[in-house]
């Protein structure tokens, strides 16, 4: 069993193959957090909890006379609450009918349930076959405040992942208001830690930033209606001495696509608490007597093999226990999207010509992006009018889809379902469907307003219109875009006292439409997008197996974006395309080989007009698609290792290792040329130490310098895994900017 409840000493221990997690109900019912780390025997680990009478850290009434060393302000707890003597950051805050906000929870019971819990109307991880998952359900109550808190723990023993969700119930006879709900609340007794978060902006998402966890509170989050370009709802806490491969690290990821807040506090006695949940600034949820609120879940994992160990555990888990459905285990088609090829300027026949050339080069799916509906010829109008513009296309959407399929290609289509244009038939018919505060002028972004997805009638409209187009076009792929942040939050369908529900209900509405589409079209591949990577989170990955990583398709810029994304998310969830050169965001010119190598560490596709390419570039597309298919298992399903950091050496290097360790692919990209070059050495990871590996360039590789045959740059054609992982290799130098190098290591 992975969950052990010890009735004698009150401990509750969760075990995975390599980790342990323990809590304990103490003598007055406080649920202490005792341990989370490397697997240990089932012992009462609360012996490490040190108690001392500390000034200005008060005592519960039951303990005040006899034990002034007992304080909720210093004890490590499983769920920190507000207003009852614990002055640290809290996970739960509730306003009672009398206006007070104190919550003092006491342990009631713990139950072991078979399998993994599910969450109604919310995405959540699931068991992949017979993994031996169990659920721990812990019930706590505040008898004076008439509140019940239930903590759900999903234990995935083989994946070394534990999940947490929270349900709050009003057990009283008057309405209460939930003000804060963070399913993650984790305390550490001691240690000097660093916090790794992922900040960014449009076209520069998920840049890793490691900071020393100092005394006080550090936080990041989003009040933008989605998880945002600016901060990702994931983090890694690690020992200050931890590296990629050594040291203790804890990873956290919120399975939610809305507003969130992560807080970390190092307190007055050097204890650390970290919380993660729905952002409280934009949230309030009335609870009538008997009503409950269920939070989204948080994923947790621990590794004593450094930060890279966290990444690989999350990668395996997200691939098999978050992503689901028809496309989870299938190779997704290599696609060409017409956006950077045509923007709004196209006809149906022009699209067919592009698709035919793409088909001849090996592309498997053609995707029609923005501009096919309403009177939309720029980004100022027609959002919400999801009726094909047959005058512009000069054919129906059914005819266009048929022509694409007749070429032997799949057909995909772009939508932006959650927004609405003032210049649209939908807005003129239903102005109350737009998110805007009565009596105020709204904030516009890209000339867009937000469509109120918290409303069921809006959800039903979007589901009906999208389904009609998908069915008519014979589409098997949808790109779901969301091109602005949410503000002026107000729903005309909610009374003033319940406007604090709007932001969360908006996300639930989006989830409902996504689930509805997948129910009607179970083989539909949906790619999430929010102006690129503005909503890259496990909540969306539950519905959309891949997410457009960034609108920035420059391969040199993508080095940092995909590097940062890889700390939490696997390669096969990162939408990545080969685009035209010079790049339309940066103006940078890069070799086709380099653009191809970078895009292979993503879902792989193209964002250009192949009819305008030189024959050599077209041939590189044929080669690239062939290599991608040949190396698919290694590149998309293998273990991923970051071997250098972007900008450290001028050469970014990463490695993918097939699960059976029979093959590895190393990719290196130079971001600039340096005089008097210092060789870049890397030590490989994940190989069989006693295995022998043939070292060779990827098929069809062409050296940057035509005078130097590619094979001559491989000094030793066969090397042991031990030598490759300990002595390592150096990356051959280039004399041209932005060149790349891909090497295969094949066991012989």
Which tens digit of pLDDT belongs to each residue from 252-269?
999 999 999 999 999 999
**Greater model confidence, 349 or 674:** 349
Q: Quick one: 583 and 711 in the same domain?
A: no
pLDDT tens by residue, 209-225 = 999 999 999 999 999 99
Give the model's pLDDT for residue 708: 47
Q: Quick one: 351 and 486 in the same domain?
A: yes
Output the average pLDDT for the chain.
96
CATH number for the domain spanning 660: value is 2.60.40.1180
Local confidence band at 714 (pLDDT 50, 70, 90 cut-offs): low
Q: Quick one: 278 and 423 in the same domain?
A: no
Q: Quick one: 572 and 653 in the same domain?
A: no
Q: Is residue 43 in a domain?
A: yes
Report DSSP state, residue 530: B
Q: Is residue 190 in a domain?
A: yes
CA distances from 278 to 178, 455, 499, 541 (A): 11, 20, 15, 18
pLDDT tens by residue, 139-172 = 999 989 999 999 999 999 999 999 999 999 999 9
Q: Is residue 330 in a domain?
A: no
Q: Quick one: 8 and 155 in the same domain?
A: yes
Q: Is residue 10 in a domain?
A: yes
Local confidence band at 337 (pLDDT 50, 70, 90 cut-offs): very high
Residue 519 has pLDDT above 50, yes or no: yes
pLDDT tens by residue, 565-578 = 999 999 999 999 99
Give the model's pLDDT for residue 194: 98
Q: Quick one: 233 and 263 in the same domain?
A: yes
Q: Quick one: 577 and 629 in the same domain?
A: yes
Number of domains in the chain: 3
Going by C-alpha positions, the residue among 341, 372, 343 that lies closest to residue 355 is 341
Average pLDDT over residues 4-11: 95
Query: Residue 15, SS3?
Result: strand
Place of tokens 């590149």: 635
Residue 705 has pLDDT above 80, yes or no: no
Give the model's pLDDT for residue 707: 46
Local confidence band at 710 (pLDDT 50, 70, 90 cut-offs): low
Q: Is residue 328 in a domain?
A: no
Q: Quick one: 630 and 645 in the same domain?
A: no
pLDDT tens by residue, 459-473 = 999 999 999 999 999
Q: Is residue 353 annotated as a catalytic residue, yes or no? A: no
Catalytic entry in 369, 617, 639, 663: 617
Residue 706 has pLDDT above 70, yes or no: no
Q: Is residue 270 in a domain?
A: yes
Place of tokens 């031990």: 722
Q: Quick one: 727 and 655 in the same domain?
A: yes
Q: Is residue 654 in a domain?
A: yes
Pairing of β 651-657 and β 663-670: antiparallel
Q: What percent of the chain has pLDDT over 70?
A: 98
Residue 598 has pLDDT above 70, yes or no: yes
pLDDT tens by residue, 272-316 = 999 999 999 999 999 999 999 999 999 999 999 999 999 999 999
pLDDT tens by residue, 376-425 = 999 999 999 999 999 999 999 999 999 999 999 999 999 999 999 999 99
Domain end (from 322, 352, 381): 322
Q: Quick one: 701 and 614 in the same domain?
A: no
Least confident among 173-187, 355-369, 662-676: 662-676
Average pLDDT over residues 518-523: 98
Q: Which domain holds residue 24?
A: 3-322
Give the model's pLDDT for residue 733: 77
CATH number for the domain spanning 499: value is 3.20.20.70
Average pLDDT over residues 557-586: 97
Domain end (from 639, 672, 698): 639
pTM above 0.85, yes or no: yes
Q: Do residues 346 and 396 touch, judged by C-beta distance below 8 A?
A: no
Residue 674 has pLDDT above 90, yes or no: no
Measured distance CA(545)–CA(323) in Å, rounded:
5
Q: What percent of the chain has pLDDT over 90?
A: 93
Q: Quick one: 677 and 722 in the same domain?
A: yes
Q: Is residue 179 in a domain?
A: yes
CATH number for the domain spanning 60: value is 2.70.98.60
Pairing of β 31-38 and β 92-95: unpaired
Which residues, at least 6 apart from 726, have a Cβ–Cβ distance to it below 8 Å? 683
Catalytic entry in 418, 537, 639, 663: 537
Q: Which residues in 45-75 are b (16+ Cβ under 10 Å) and which e?
A: bbeeeeeeeeeebbbbeebeeeeeebbbbbb
Domain end (from 277, 297, 322): 322
Local confidence band at 700 (pLDDT 50, 70, 90 cut-offs): confident
Measured distance CA(628)–CA(595) in Å, rounded:
13
Local confidence band at 711 (pLDDT 50, 70, 90 cut-offs): low
Q: Is residue 537 annotated as a catalytic residue, yes or no? A: yes
Q: Quick one: 613 and 629 in the same domain?
A: yes
């Amino acid at each position: 069993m992975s969950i052990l409840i010890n009735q004698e000493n009150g401990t509750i221990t969760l075990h995975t193959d390599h980790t342990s997690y323990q809590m304990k109900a103490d003598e007055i019912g406080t649920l202490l957090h005792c341990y989370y780390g490397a697997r240990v025997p089932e012992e009462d680990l609360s012996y490490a909890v040190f108690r001392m009478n500390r000034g200005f850290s008060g005592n519960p009434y039951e303990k005040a006379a006899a034990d002034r060393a007992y304080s909720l302000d210093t004890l490590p707890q499983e769920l920190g609450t507000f207003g009852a003597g614990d002055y640290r950051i809290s996970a739960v805050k509730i306003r009672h009918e009398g206006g007070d906000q104190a919550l003092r929870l006491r342990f009631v019971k713990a139950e072991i349930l078979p399998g993994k819990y599910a969450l109604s109307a919310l995405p959540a991880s699931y068991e992949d076959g017979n993994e031996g998952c169990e659920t721990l359900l812990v019930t706590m109550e505040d008898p004076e405040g008439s509140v019940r808190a239930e903590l759900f723990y999903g234990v995935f023993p083989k994946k070394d992942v534990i999940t947490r969700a929270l349900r709050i119930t009003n057990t009283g006879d008057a309405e209460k208001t939930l003000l804060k709900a963070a399913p993650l609340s984790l305390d550490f007794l001691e240690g000097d830690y660093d916090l790794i978060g992922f900040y960014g902006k449009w076209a520069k998402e998920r840049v890793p930033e490691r900071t020393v966890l100092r005394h006080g509170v550090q936080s990041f989050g989003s009040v933008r209606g989605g998880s945002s370009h600016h901060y990702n709802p994931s983090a890694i806490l690690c020992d200050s001495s931890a590296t990629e491969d050594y040291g203790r690290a804890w990873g956290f990821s919120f399975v939610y696509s809305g507003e969130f807040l992560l807080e970390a506090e190092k307190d007055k006695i050097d204890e650390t608490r970290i919380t993660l949940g729905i952002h409280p600034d934009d949230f309030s949820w009335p609870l009538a007597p008997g009503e409950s609120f269920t939070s989204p879940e948080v994923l947790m994992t621990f590794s004593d093999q450094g930060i890279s160990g966290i990444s690989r555990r999350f990668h395996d888990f997200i691939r098999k226990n978050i992503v689901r459905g028809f496309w989870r285990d299938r190779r997704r088609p290599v696609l060409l999207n017409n956006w950077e090829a045509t923007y709004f300027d196209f006809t149906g026949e022009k699209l067919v010509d592009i698709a035919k050339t793409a088909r001849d080069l090996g592309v498997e799916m053609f995707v029609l992006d923005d501009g096919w509906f309403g009177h939309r010829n720029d980004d100022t109008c027609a959002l919400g009018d999801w009726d094909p513009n047959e005058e512009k296309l000069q054919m129906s959407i059914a005819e266009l889809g048929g022509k694409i399929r007749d070429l032997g290609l799949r057909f995909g289509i772009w939508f932006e379902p959650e927004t609405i244009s003032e210049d649209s038939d939908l807005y003129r018919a239903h102005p109350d469907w737009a998110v805007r505060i009565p009596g105020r002028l709204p904030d516009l972004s890209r000339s867009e307003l937000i469509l109120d997805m918290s409303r069921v009638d809006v959800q039903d409209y979007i589901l009906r219109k999208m389904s009609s187009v998908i069915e008519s076009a014979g589409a098997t792929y949808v790109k779901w875009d969301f091109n602005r942040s949410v503000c002026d939050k107000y729903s005309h369908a909610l009374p003033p006292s319940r406007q604090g529900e709007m932001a969360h209900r908006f996300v639930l509405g989006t989830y409902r439409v996504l689930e509805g589409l997948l129910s009607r079209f179970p083989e539909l591949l949906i790619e999430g997008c929010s102006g690129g990577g503005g909503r890259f989170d496990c909540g969306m990955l539950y519905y959309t197996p891949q997410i457009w990583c960034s609108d920035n398709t420059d391969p040199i810029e993508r080095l940092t974006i995909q590097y940062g994304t890889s700390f939490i998310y696997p390669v096969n969830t990162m939408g990545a395309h080969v685009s035209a050169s010079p790049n339309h965001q940066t103006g940078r010119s890069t070799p086709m080989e380099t653009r191809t190598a970078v895009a292979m560490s993503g879902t792989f596709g193209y964002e250009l007009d192949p009819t305008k390419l030189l024959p050599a570039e077209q041939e590189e597309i044929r080669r690239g698609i062939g290599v991608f298919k040949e190396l698919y298992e290694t590149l998309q399903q293998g273990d991923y290792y970051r071997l250098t950091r972007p900008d450290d050496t001028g050469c970014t290097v990463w490695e993918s290792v097939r699960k059976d360790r029979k093959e590895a692919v190393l990719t290196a990209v130079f971001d600039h040329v340096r005089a008097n070059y210092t060789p870049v050495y890397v030590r490989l990871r994940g190989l069989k130490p006693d295995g022998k590996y043939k070292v060779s360039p990827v098929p069809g590789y062409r050296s940057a310098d035509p005078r130097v045959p590619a094979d001559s740059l491989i000094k030793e054609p066969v090397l042991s895994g031990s030598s490759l992982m300990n002595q390592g290799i150096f990356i051959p130098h280039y004399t041209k900017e932005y060149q790349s190098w891909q090497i295969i290591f094949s066991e012989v």
